[in-house]
Amino acid sequence: GSIWEDVPMAKPDAILGIAKEYQQCTNPRKVNVCVGAYRDENGKPWVLPSVRQAERILWEDETQTKEYLPIDGDREFVQCAMRFAYGPDVPLEHLAGVQTLSGTGACRVGGTFLAAFWPNHPIYCPNPTWGNHITIFKECGLDVRRYRYYDRANNGLDLSGMLRDLQKAPRGSIILLHACAHNPTGCDPTIHEWKQIISMIGQRDHVAFFDCAYQGFASGDAEADAAPFRYAVSQRVPIVLAQSFAKNFGLYGERCGSLSVVCGDAEQKERILSELRLVIRPMYSSPPRHGSSIVKTILKDEQLTKQYYEECASMARRIQRMRTKLVECLSTMSKHDWSHIKRQIGMFAFTGLTPDMCHQLTNEYYIFLTTNGRISIAGLNDSNVEYVANAIHAVTD
Ligand code: PMP
């Protein structure tokens, strides 16, 4: 025997389990609309040309080393990331920013910091939300609660339910907000609705924890996508921001992100930074350097930045075109209303398909999706969008 006899088999991860089934499927018609990763017109992963160019520059620069980064990451990268997120108006001396292991690591570092330095305050997540949010913040030791977000009956934002729940939450609660391209619903508040949400958060002395995993990916314009948290900063609502460079720079596996806290002054910033370093040191010591070197190389160079913005916009445009095409195909055959899919934004369509319909799509049509009815639009292209629309029609007719 072994001492590990009693270790049970863990449940497979909902999303990564389906991705594995897709890989094992041998049917040539198979479609992967499960994982939220960009695919080009041929269904292939895309490395942005600006990223390739940055890698070339780094490769040729013989002063580059493989030395450890500091605990809180590459200073220049963090400054570029802060500018990218907050724009030119927020002084860098007021931003306690650290490099993190992509958006997941940012949520984990931010949650652990809040559990220690904003204790006894629950965190409220939207219902529904990215599944990992719940697990991450529980692991941080936070009391995780939910606020109403999506109205399934009307396929839109439940603004009044959301505002009521934010009002009822104990004063000083942490409110997790998806900065843009809400995952899984694709349903974002309008800027007018954001103003009401942020005003309520301010009135109740809550802390706004923005998870920004898709800046630039929603509208195609990174500046426009940052509007909700830039507005919150302008209203002096306390902000914690988790940034991921996985989707917008296509750096998924490079694990590049940042976590920042907006501080009152430079002295406060130094104290918060010192505590963030203390969170990170025993967790993973220091972050990887390749992804952050790429982002820094792009954002420090005016020409490469311009090129990057265009490439990011082209991903958003292709997704938008597929979104439109899917709805157009469906409306030629289906008696149901699919217009909510057109109103949604970002990587995903939240179709409203039941778990049974999702299983049928996978078992009979080899279309792999999560059973909450979420489709990653990035997995669609001109060769498969009609096939997917036909299959959706068949299981909903
Ligand atoms: N937050 C949200 C809302 C997400 O959708 C994702 C990616 N699925 C993440 C955070 C984190 O992703 P990553 O750790 O790869 O940056």
Tokens of 371: 């059973």
What does the pLDDT average to over 23-45?
Answer: 94
The model's pLDDT over 205-249, given as tens digits with 9 standing for 90+, comes to 999 999 999 999 999 999 999 999 999 999 999 999 999 999 999
- Contact call for residues 128 and 156 (beta carbons, < 8 A): no
* Ligand 1 contact, 186 CB (< 6 A): no
Indicate whether residue 103 lines ligand 1 (CB < 6 A): yes
Using the atom order of ligand 1, give the atom closest to the CA of residue 105: 14
Q: Which neighbouring-strand residues pair with 367?
A: 31
What is the pLDDT, as a whole number, of residue 287?
98
Indicate the pairing of strand 144-148 with strand 123-127: parallel
The answer to whether 158 touches 211, Cβ cutoff 8 Å, is no
Instruction: Kindly indicate the confidence band of residue 53, based on its pLDDT and cuts at 50, 70 and 90.
Output: very high
Q: What is the pLDDT of residue 17?
A: 83
- Confidence tier at 35 by pLDDT (50, 70, 90): confident
| d(CA 101, ligand 1 centre) in Å | 11
Residue 354 has pLDDT above 80, yes or no: yes
**CB neighbours (10 Å) of residue 253?**
12
| Closest ligand 1 atom number to CA of residue 178 | 3
Instruction: Decide whether any atom of ligand 1 lies within 6 Å of the 133 Cβ.
Output: no
Structure tokens at 170: 């104990």
Q: What is the overall mean pLDDT for the chain? A: 96
The pLDDT, as a whole number, for residue 13 is 81
pLDDT, tens digit, 9 for 90 and up, residues 262-308? 999 999 999 999 999 999 999 999 999 999 999 999 999 999 999 99
Tell whether ligand 1 has an atom less than 6 A from the beta carbon of residue 178. yes
DSSP 8-state class, residue 5:
T
According to DSSP, the residues that pair with 126 across neighbouring strands are 147
- Of the candidates 304, 341, 269, the one whose C-alpha atom is nearest the C-alpha of residue 92 is 269
Residues labelled catalytic: 130, 211, 247
* d(CA 210, ligand 1 centre) in Å: 12
Q: Verify whether ligand 1 is closer than 6 Å to residue 183 (CB atom).
A: yes
What is the Å distance from ligand 1's center to 103 Cα? 5
Query: Which residue among 100, 101, 130 is best mutated to probe the pocket of ligand 1, counting the most ligand atoms within 8 A of its Cβ?
Result: 130
Query: Looking at ligand 1, which residue's alpha carbon is closest to its atom 4?
Result: 213
CB 109 within 8 A of CB 283: yes
Taking the complete model, does pTM exceed 0.80, yes or no?
Answer: yes
Give the pLDDT of residue 376: 96
pLDDT of residue 48 exceeding 90, the answer is: yes
Ligand 1 site, residue 384, Cβ cutoff 6 A: no
First to last CA, the chain: 55
| Angle in degrees, 0-180, between the axes of helices 302-333 and 385-396, rounded to the nearest 10 | 40
Which pLDDT value is given to residue 394? 97
Task: Please tell me the predicted confidence (pLDDT) of residue 219.
Answer: 95
Q: Is the pLDDT of residue 14 over 80?
A: no
Q: Indicate if ligand 1 lies below 6 Å from the C-beta of 129.
A: no
Q: Which residues neighbour 180 within 8 Å (Cβ) at sequence distance 6 or greater?
A: 188, 212, 214, 215, 217, 218, 219, 225, 226, 228, 345, 346
Ranges 21-25, 141-145, 303-307: which has the least confidence = 21-25
Give the model's confidence band at 15: pLDDT under 50 very low, under 70 low, under 90 confident, else very high.
confident
**How high is the pLDDT of residue 320?**
96
Dihedral angle sign, alpha carbons of residues 64, 70, 73, 78: negative
Length of the chain in terms of residues written: 397
Residue type, 201: I
Closest protein CA for atom 1 of ligand 1: 213
Q: DSSP secondary-structure letter at 71? A: T
For ligand 1, atom 11, which residue shows the shortest CA distance? 103
Given a cut of 90, is residue 1 above it in pLDDT?
A: no
Ligand 1 atom nearest to 104, measured from its CA: 14
Q: If you measure from the C-alpha of residue 104 to the centroid of ligand 1, how many angstroms do you get, rounded to a whole number?
A: 6
Ligand 1: centre distance to CA 154 (Å)? 26
ipTM: 0.99
Q: How confident is the model at residue 77 (pLDDT cuts 50, 70, 90)?
A: very high
pLDDT band at 12 (very low <50, low <70, confident <90, very high): confident
Is 90 exceeded by the pLDDT of residue 11? no
